[in-house]
Amino acid sequence: MTQHQRLAATVLALAALSSRVTAQPSSAEAALAIQLFDDAEKLMAAGQPAAACPKYAESQRRDPQLGTLLHLADCHEKVGKIASAWAGFKEAAEIAARRNAAGGNERREQVARARAAELEPKLSSVLLHVTQVEVAGLEIRRDGELVSRAVWGSTMPVDPGRYTFLAQAPGKKAWTKTVEVRSGGAKIEITVPALEDDGAPSAAGMSSPISGLPPIDAASSSTADRQGRGSTQRTVGYLLAGLGVIGAGVGVAFGLTVVSQLADRDAICRSGVHCTPDEGQQITEIEARAQGNATACNVALAFGGAAALGGVALVLTAPSSRSSTAARIDVVPWAGPQSAGANVAGRW
């Protein structure tokens, strides 16, 4: 029997003889962990380590035990996951060492350390060199999982396989690289270059948000395009003019209400002098309501007039098939306490 086989037999025997001390899981969790462990043992005995490893791992997750951890590490070694196996044996050695430091007699510490030392020459690893570590918000991910900044520049033991690294930062173009890590102690070094600026496209060369469509160029629009834009502009103009008429109508309604309220005020005390206190109070209330309605009248008439004016301007300046350049008009309504209107600017 070789030294490796003797070590493997020893660790499995010790793990089998050890008591399964619970880490305060629920009774249901502990029972399920035991069942998973037993199922994994049967699969290992049947020569199916690839199927056994996930069951060991789930058993360990539900009820962490030193013996289960050692079995899981041994299983990982059998399926070629050397880094996972090495990490498992190292963790088991540390747990056993803490027990011994507390006065225990944990013989599995030396076994776990020996197994870990045996695997170290076979470890494959990746070393990340980051060119510009000072870039704000820079992050690196390995297969979607964030790689801590503390790991940059340090050797990362990894299991054999294919890995994709992604570097990204705000305002920068993302960088990716996929590497194939082989077994047998392969050493891969990856250099993350300085990320390029992600410049925004210019307005003249801005592409359509629908992929595959050509850039929008007003100067090269077809006659059909101009007709479509003209039809849309005229439709908007008609709607805006209609809203203007409605606004003006609302203003007129408020105005008529003001006239009626002032008539009611004059009917109370026509002279406006020598009024009784009650009449004065009624007049004050009516005038306050009339003042509010007058303000609403002014605002409605102002925006109604501006909307109507803007609508007419849009209809008149809408491009047709004969237009080579679409007209543009800007209408900005305004209103003050005593007056209202709109500023109109554009090109034809």
DSSP codes, 302-340: HHHHHHHHHHHHHHHH---TT-SS--EEEEEEEE-SS-E
> What is the pLDDT at residue 209?
47
Residue in the block written with tokens 């005038």: 287
* Over residues 179-185, mean pLDDT: 94
Mean pLDDT of 200-212: 48
Domain spans, the chain:
3-121, 124-192, 223-347
Would 3-121 and 124-192 be classified into the same CATH topology? no
Return left, alpha or beta for 104; rule: phi > 0 is left, psi -120 to 50 is alpha, else beta. beta
Mean pLDDT of 138-160: 95
At residue 84 the predicted structure's pLDDT band, cuts being 50, 70 and 90, is very high
Banded pLDDT at 54 (limits 50, 70, 90): very high
The topology under which CATH files domain 124-192 is Immunoglobulin-like (2.60.40)
- What are the tokens at 38? 């037993």
- 58 confidence band (pLDDT: 50, 70, 90): very high
Q: How many CB atoms lie within 10 A of CB 68?
A: 26
CB distance 34 to 22 below 8 Å: no
Q: Which of 161-165, 180-184, 266-270 has the lowest mean pLDDT?
A: 266-270
Residue 333 bridge partners (DSSP) = 342
Q: How far apart are CA 275 and CA 260, in angstroms?
A: 20
On the question of pLDDT at 177 being above 90, the answer is yes
| Entry pTM | 0.51
The reported pLDDT for the residue numbered 324 is 44
The answer to whether the beta carbons of residues 290 and 261 sit under 8 Å apart is yes
Give the distance from CA 101 to its chain's centroid: 47
What value does the mean pLDDT take over residues 285-298?
Answer: 86
Residue with tokens 């029997």: 1
* pLDDT above 70 (res 315): yes
Phi, psi at 336, each rounded to 5°: -130, 180
Amino acid at 13: A
Residue in the block written with tokens 């009248």: 297
Question: What is the bridge-based pairing of β-strands 124-130 and 187-192?
Answer: parallel
Average pLDDT, stretch 245-252?
A: 85
What is the four-CA torsion angle of 50, 51, 54, 58, rounded to 10 degrees? -150
Domain 3-121: assigned CATH number: 1.25.40.10
Which residue, among 165, 125, 162, has the nearest Cα to 142 in the 3D structure? 165
